[in-house]
Amino acid sequence: MTDTNKDLVKKEAGVPEGVDRTKPRKVFKPDVDIIEEKEETVLTADLPGVDEKSLDITLEKNVITIRGRVETEIPAGCRLAYGEYEVGDYERAFSLSDEVDKEKIQATIKNGELKLVLPKATAVKARKIAITAA
Amino acid sequence: MVWTDFDRFGFPDPWRALDRLNRAVSGSGLLAPSTSEFPLVNVWMDGDRAVVTTELPGVDPKDVDISVAGKTVTLRGARSLGDACKEGCEHRHERWSGNFSRSFDLPFVIDQNKVDAKFSKGVLHVTLPRAESDKPRKIAIKTE
């Protein structure tokens, strides 16, 4: 299975009109997959160049924000001869529904891929009612 | 794909220069047009060495195959994103998956024994030095 219609060029994260970033470098929106399962919702994000030390996840009210810092690594003494992608930081925010158990959110990052597990709160999990024959 | 700035006699390619100028004006810092081939690569040059960098988040370095032959370097591999779920449970699907294969021609013959590849945080760096036999030889001039 190969996706041919995916836009591979990084999309810059937006800022409100008239507002500038304090750092001159570019900030991109990482590509994500979000899959909802019975017990939890799993968010996977592409954050190449980011590890657990340079990743920052904050939860404020119902908004979860992912921020990743990337150190630009220019090979010593080299100039860019051919370039297809740009390097910059990552930032993206998602609003969570009330059904997420905010105390139990887990995040792991490996090989530049972030996995965020958002478990559902017990109250929302569909409860099966046992029926006893009278 | 040929991406050298200079032809084999060392003259700059005017079309390439014009293309670069166009991009500088349009504000994109990139030297290549957007491509839909995964993964996107950057090629860095330093005289007798080229460094190819590419972003492969979520790919196990064991699943990446780098092969070198003459002037050509090929990156092959696959990225699988786990089991696709049943209809209705997927909210967003933005990440690329599948098998990939990308080849480049460098402007010099690569020393196959000295190729070095490093993978960290989902970014692959491949250093490709120029073969000794391909380097220009200096001819000593004898005076009589």
- Give the ipTM: 0.80
By mean pLDDT, which of A2-6, A112-116, B28-32 is the weakest?
B28-32
Q: Does A51 touch chain B (CB under 8 A)?
A: yes
pLDDT in tens, A104-134: 999 999 999 999 999 988 766 666 788 888 7
- Residue to substitute from B16, B73, B94, B116, interface A, most A β-carbons within 10 A: B94
Instruction: Check B42 against A84: CB less than 8 A apart.
Output: yes
Provide the token pair at A67: 């921020």
Mean pLDDT of chain B: 79
Provide the token pair at B65: 């195959």
Per-residue pLDDT for B34 more than 80?
A: no
Q: Is the full-model pTM beyond 0.80?
A: no
Provide the token pair at A20: 């500038």
- State the pLDDT at residue B19: 59
Q: For residue B7, how many other CB atoms are within 10 A of its CB?
A: 12
**Dist. CA B121–CA A113, nearest whole Å:** 8
Instruction: Check B58 against A73: CB less than 8 A apart.
Output: no
Considering only CB atoms, A78 lies closest to which of B29, B46, B58, namely: B46
Considering only CB atoms, A49 lies closest to which of B29, B98, B123, namely: B123
- Residue to substitute from A111, A114, A118, A120, interface B, most B β-carbons within 10 A: A111
* Exposure of B3 in the CB half-sphere (CA atoms within 13 A): 23
**Dist. CA A113–CA B54, nearest whole Å:** 14
- State the pLDDT at residue A50: 93
Provide the token pair at B57: 């988040």
- State the pLDDT at residue B96: 86
Q: Phi/psi zone of residue A77: left (φ > 0), alpha (ψ -120 to 50 degrees), beta?
A: left
H, E, C per residue of A34-66:
EEECCCEEEEEEECCCCCCCCEEEEEECCEEEE
Per-residue pLDDT for A8 more than 60?
A: yes
